[in-house]
Amino acid sequence: MIAAALMCQATPKGKAMFVAPAYAQTPATDAETHTETGVADHGAGEPAFPPFETESYPSQLLWLAITFGLFYLFLKKVALPRIGSILEVRRDRIAQDLDQAARMKEEADEAVAAYEQELADARKKAGAIAQEARDNAKAEAEAERREVERSLDAKLGEAEARITEIKSAALKDVGTIAEETAGTIVQELIGGTVDKKSLTAAVKAVGQ
Amino acid sequence: MATDPIHQFQISKLIPIEIGGLDFSFTNSSAFMLATVLGAGAFLFLTTSSRGLVPGRLQSISEMAYEFIASMLRDAAGSQGMRFFPLVFSLFMFVLVANLFGMVPYFFTVTSHIIVTFALAILVIGTVLVYGFWKHGLKFLNLFVPEGVPAALVPLVVLIEVVSFLSRPVSLSVRLFANMLAGHITLKVFAGFVTSLSAFGAVGVAGAVLPLAMTVALTGLEFLVAFLQAYVFAVLTCMYLNDALHPSH
């Protein structure tokens, strides 16, 4: 009704196009019966531009308060805590996963260290076993060598003893033969017999 | 009427309501406020309903908005400022979604009315004043007396500070309102050129290419402005809230 009055004032100025069709359809008769309101509105300011039409302010303020108020409450009570908790959970989860990864890495490092320790031990042990085997073999070889040497020595001694025996026997035989031969030669040369004693002494003296 | 660039800002009553001689009708503006709130609320609610540990695309948008505003507020007002996070986030989402809804053809732009933006600005400044005085008492007035100013200059500086404080709600609301209003009018005027030029036959149609290209470019610009103004509104809100938390300069 107010706008209808407005339209009456606005039309002569050529501003009819700024008036909403809803208002424009208001029966013109209304304008006559409410001239006072039209005047009052004129005092409130230039109304042709919608954002400055003060009569729409109470409605806009009320509905803004209702809608924005509910929006604020909804966000504060429901939406924002939910998004906040989603982000929180994710942050926690990431931190937890990082912790776990660090722990696993530590475990892996420990395992590697243990493995290397074991490897070193095994190597040392293997070395010891090899050394022992080598030593045993050497000792065995040595013992065998000694055994062989000893038996060789024994055989050598035996052989030497036999040689000496044979030699002495031979030498003894040589004396006897020489005596007999010398006796025979002397007998043949000078005839007669030569006593055995002097023969032995003579052979001995030659032998020396 | 259709080519009138102002027509898009017209308020029309959908459900007339009158209380105590004042008009509280449910209008197209109220409808779009409701749509803005429902749209933004439903988006934030539904995209996060799966509470995915690995977010989908839409959940990422909600989370990005959350972290964007949270870091903005923390940078400007420190961790104490986080008590105002729901307020700043609501303001940002409301303004952003209202601006973006306004970009849809035939939709009403809630933020193109000064009373709406002014009410939001007063909400911010009111929060600053109430919280500032409640938290700091009269020390809150230190806000108007910067340290290290010579005594002789203090009255002048205080006057300037008071004026600048009082102009905050005005600049905050007029910036948003004027940007949305001017953008939509410009868009409508250039789009109007296209239709009126093409009425002049072949030459007109050829000539209409230029305003058409301009309309396309402006549409892109307006989407940028829609976001930028919501961002600016939120940033300034954070800075003003910082004054309430830490009044001494």
Q: Walk along chain A (208 residues) and give the pLDDT tens digit of each residue.
A: 344 443 444 334 433 344 344 444 444 444 444 434 433 344 444 446 888 888 889 999 999 999 999 999 999 999 999 999 999 999 999 999 999 999 999 999 999 999 999 999 999 999 999 999 999 999 999 999 999 999 999 999 999 998 888 888 887 777 778 778 877 887 888 777 777 777 778 777 876 6
CB A43 within 8 A of CB B16: no
Q: Which residues of chain A neighbour B39 with C-beta distances below 8 Å? A: none
User: From the centroid of its chain, how far is CA A188?
Assistant: 113
Q: Is A75 in Cβ contact with B41 (below 8 Å)?
A: yes
CA torsion sign for A120, A124, A126, A130 is positive
For B23, list phi and psi in degrees, rounded to 5: -90, 110
Q: How far apart are CA A41 and CA B156, in angstroms?
A: 40
Q: Is B41 in Cβ contact with A68 (below 8 Å)?
A: no
Provide the 8-state DSSP code for B27: E
CB of A92 less than 8 A from some CB of B: no
Count: domains in chain A: 2
For B15, list phi and psi in degrees, rounded to 5: -130, 105
For chain B, what are the domain ranges? 7-245
* Nearest-CA distance B240 → chain A (Å): 19
Provide the 8-state DSSP code for A19: S
Query: Of the residues A88, A113, A145, which one is the last residue of a structural domain?
Result: A88
Span between the terminal Cα atoms of chain B, in Å: 53
Burial B93-102 (b: 16+ CB within 10 A, else e): bbbbbbbbbb
Strand intervals (E) in chain A? none
At B58 the three-state DSSP class reads helix
pLDDT at B70: 95
Which range of residues forms the domain containing residue A51?
2-88
pTM for the full model?
A: 0.70
Query: Of the residues A24, A57, A88, which one is the last residue of a structural domain?
Result: A88
> What ipTM does this complex have?
0.90
Q: Is B119 in Cβ contact with A70 (below 8 Å)?
A: no
